[in-house]
A and B are shown apart, each in its own frame.
Chain A
Amino acid sequence: MAPALHALIIGVSAYPHLPGGDGPVGMETYGLQQLTAAARSAAAVHSWLNSAAGRLPVPLGTARLVVSPSAAEPADGALATRENVRRAALAWREDCASDRDNVAFFYFAGHGVQRTRTDAALLLRDFNDAPGAPLYNAMDVNNLFDGMAPTVDRPNIARTQLWFMDACRAYPSQFDHFETLTATPVFEVSLSDYDDRCAPIYFGSLPGANAYSVPGGQTVFSTAILECLEGAGCTRRAGDQWEVTVGSLAQSLGRIVELVNEEIGGSQQAFVGGQLTRTGAPIVAVTGVPSVRVSLELRPETYVDEVQLAVRCYDGSDRAIPAPLSPNPYKDRWPAGIYDLSAQPPDRGIRREQLWVLPPDCPWVGQVTVP
């Protein structure tokens, strides 16, 4: 069997045993509510993988989707109970273990209780279904990660593994003695051999506030991930190909998360951990020239009417820029490239310059002076 990418994608929005759920709710609810975007986000990631199949470094082998959707979300995929997730994970691991050149891809969106920068307990659909061990229907990132290490039993497990944790707002302080709690293991514990995986963990979590998702849409983190994978996180090395690599994704993800946060008033943060053994490892090739977020701003705001900006593309065509600049900052998306920016009248402090529009974004600020 040729190397392939094998994906396990989990999205848990509906928690029947939390307030607002359609099951019996326990005495303790840990400050948690239903989610509205996790399952949709998982479905979007699943859809993206299928659409990008021809651009991945290896063919797409399997893409398992396990969800617990809210009423407003699509319901494709097995239900994300602990048992279903366990079975899917075991099958996923067996697929990944067939060839060391396989690529493993894991994405989870839902409630998570964060321990360290890149370790958390991820809560599944049947969380809180009975009193007793609070994390019985949860899984540990640590257990998953350890279970995917090369061992005597699985010497050829995928050496490139991409982990995405899109966790939301469960707090350790809400659990009694959280430091001693352990989730039910998904994988049996098996200590690794020499661990030479390239296995970054991209972790999106909240520092302690606000929005997790674009209203009616996806999570901030999944929105940013997909924007990066579609070009905002790419780089161009030798040859003409633009591609997203382990390192370029890590570099861009935090910035795109910031920009999405600004748009919707969110406050997710992005962390990168795990093993970054080959930062140049390719994740996906980008078709054509990537589209880059551009922001043009004039300061001070009171002088916006004093200046008209003009932008010329490298092919000689002009980009339409509102005059006066409105809104300020003016935001658009342009193909990556070098642009010529000038201003009229020329004595307002804005010098002609080249704008190098490179991923992940190109913000520009001009300081206007009035003679």
Chain B
Amino acid sequence: MSELRFRTPLRGEIPVEVYDHDLRLRGRVLTSQSLELEAGDYRVIARVPDGPQLRATVTVSTESSAVAELKRDRVRRPGTLALEATRHAAIARDVTYGEYFPDPTHRWIREGISPRGFWTIEGEPDVWHRPLVDRPPEVFSLRFLCPPALPQCTILPRESLGHLEWSVVEDIRGDLTFETRLKHGGARNLLAYLERGQVDGAELLAKSVASDAEQLLYEKGRDPVAAAAGALGLLAFGDLDRLHDWTKNLRRRFEWLPDGLITHAEHLARLGKHDAAVEALQELTNRALPILTLSLSTAVTRMRSYVTAGLGGSMLAAATEALTRYAVACDLTAAVTTFPAVDPSLPIARQPTKSEHQRGS
């Protein structure tokens, strides 16, 4: 047996699949890991969500370890459009606008131009007002304006800004998307793989993020948003043992993080501890909008179950209604909760396209 290692042109670790000459899947690991294999020819594939496939054919010998140098294929897939955005000089795919926020307590504007016209990003500190909420949370509201499209909005806890980054991406149709992403590469990839249904790869990434739990929660490089993403991943895969006290500690240490509340509530619910889960979800009333789309989806689903069961009273019912309003508006493919709205407190629910209206469908 010899060791097979992996090298890719991408930053960060991603899942790879290794097939032998009989097309059997011999292993699925992260590019930061290695695989012990018998001598022979192997095919290595990395399926990058919204990106190209990376491939390599490698021969493993008995004498020494081998390295699979994965290269991009040339196939144009719907999701590869983002990589083409770098061709448009007006739009910086990888500029981290977050670095330009002088202070989350002050208003901030950035403008640019694309072949489609002018675009503007407006950010300002705000308070997220809702009915029956006596302690509305302090947030930072972002709006991306690129007429004639509806403004795209996100509402973020101010404490979260340091863990996020932003970019404006142009797709092959010329449409612009304002994208909020997690800075933590592993967590960002985990959500992308989950969103694209690449669950086997996502499971590996969830475990990798989980292995950083101590650092994410306690240490200098702590990143509670990434920790929440990791927890969501482990919940999706039912790895409740690995979660252990993680969700409880995330909730306790970062009270401002709505996603921490949600992951703890969901963890409790899956263990059958519904009273405690209801109590956790009731606290969402005084929290900001969940940062992650998956958190929002998880919360709304669970809250609706409890409200239907007559649990949680009017407080939970009101919170459920408020979050459902965002759930039926948000971009289901975005990792961070993003929704169209003229006023961020009034999200616009998903609606037919203009062409569908015209067809009367």
Seen from chain A, the residues whose Cβ lies within 8 Å of a Cβ on chain B are 31, 33, 114-119, 140, 142-143, 146, 169, 171-174, 178-180, 182, 185, 189, 191-196, 198, 200, 207-210, 235-238, 246-248, 250-251, 253-254, 258, 269-273, 275-279, 295, 297, 299, 336-338, 353-354, 356, 358, 363-365, 367
Contact: A115 with B328, CB < 8 Å? yes
Contact: A116 with B301, CB < 8 Å? yes
The residue on B at minimum CB distance from A242 is B23
CB distance from A225 to the nearest CB of B (A): 13
Contact: B74 with A299, CB < 8 Å? yes
User: With an 8 A cutoff between CB atoms, is B43 at the interface?
Assistant: yes
Contact: B199 with A250, CB < 8 Å? yes
The complex places the Cα of A172 from the Cα of B332 at a distance, in Å, of: 14
Q: A279-B237, A356-B43 are in contact. Are A116 and B296 (CB under 8 A)?
A: yes
Q: Which B residues lie within 8 Å of A367 (CB)?
A: 74
The complex places the Cα of A271 from the Cα of B333 at a distance, in Å, of: 9
The complex places the Cα of A322 from the Cα of B203 at a distance, in Å, of: 42
User: With an 8 A cutoff between CB atoms, is B131 at the interface?
Assistant: no
Q: A251-B198, A299-B74 are in contact. Are A209 and B355 (CB under 8 A)?
A: yes
Q: A115-B327, A180-B321, A182-B308 are in contact. Are A272 and B199 (CB under 8 A)?
A: yes
User: With an 8 A cutoff between CB atoms, is B172 at the interface?
Assistant: no
The complex places the Cα of A161 from the Cα of B74 at a distance, in Å, of: 38
Q: What are 30 A-B residue pairs whose CB atoms fall within 8 Å in the complex?
A: A33-B361, A115-B324, A169-B361, A171-B350, A171-B351, A174-B351, A179-B324, A179-B327, A182-B308, A185-B308, A191-B272, A191-B274, A195-B272, A236-B23, A236-B24, A247-B199, A247-B203, A250-B198, A250-B200, A251-B201, A273-B236, A277-B238, A279-B199, A279-B200, A354-B57, A356-B43, A356-B57, A358-B23, A365-B75, A365-B76
Contact: B305 with A189, CB < 8 Å? yes
14 other contacts beyond A195-B269, A254-B196, with CB at 8 A cut-off? A33-B361, A116-B332, A117-B297, A118-B301, A173-B348, A173-B350, A180-B324, A236-B24, A247-B199, A250-B198, A251-B197, A337-B23, A354-B57, A364-B73
Chain B, residues 184-205, CB within 8 Å of chain A (1/0): the string is 0000000000111111110100
The complex places the Cα of A338 from the Cα of B21 at a distance, in Å, of: 8
The complex places the Cα of A142 from the Cα of B200 at a distance, in Å, of: 25
Q: A180-B321, A254-B197, A277-B238 are in contact. Are A116 and B300 (CB under 8 A)?
A: yes
Contact: A179 with B325, CB < 8 Å? yes
User: With an 8 A cutoff between CB atoms, is B183 at the interface?
Assistant: no
Q: Which B residues lie within 8 Å of A246 (CB)?
A: 199
Contact: B350 with A118, CB < 8 Å? no
Contact of B19 among A140, A179, A269, A358 (CB under 8 A): A358
Contacting A at CB under 8 A, from B16-35, are 19, 21-25
User: With an 8 A cutoff between CB atoms, is B102 at the interface?
Assistant: no
The complex places the Cα of A271 from the Cα of B297 at a distance, in Å, of: 13
The residue on B at minimum CB distance from A289 is B23
Contact: B356 with A209, CB < 8 Å? yes
User: With an 8 A cutoff between CB atoms, is B352 at the interface?
Assistant: yes
CB distance from B289 to the nearest CB of A (A): 14
Contact: B352 with A279, CB < 8 Å? no
The complex places the Cα of A223 from the Cα of B64 at a distance, in Å, of: 46
CB distance from A304 to the nearest CB of B (A): 15
The residue on B at minimum CB distance from A141 is B301
The complex places the Cα of A185 from the Cα of B310 at a distance, in Å, of: 13
The residue on B at minimum CB distance from A253 is B197
Q: Which B residues lie within 8 Å of A336 (CB)?
A: 23
Contact: A172 with B328, CB < 8 Å? yes
The residue on B at minimum CB distance from A209 is B353
Contact: A173 with B351, CB < 8 Å? yes
Contact of A142 among B201, B271, B305, B352 (CB under 8 A): B305
The complex places the Cα of A253 from the Cα of B194 at a distance, in Å, of: 13
Q: Which B residues lie within 8 Å of A269 (CB)?
A: 333
User: With an 8 A cutoff between CB atoms, is B349 at the interface?
Assistant: yes
Contact: A116 with B297, CB < 8 Å? yes
The residue on A at minimum CB distance from B300 is A116
Contact: B349 with A171, CB < 8 Å? yes
Q: Which B residues lie within 8 Å of A210 (CB)?
A: 355-356
Q: Which B residues lie within 8 Å of A200 (CB)?
A: 199
Contact of A277 among B201, B237, B297, B361 (CB under 8 A): B237
Contact: B327 with A251, CB < 8 Å? no
The complex places the Cα of A358 from the Cα of B43 at a distance, in Å, of: 10
Chain B, residues 110-124, CB within 8 Å of chain A (1/0): the string is 000000000000000
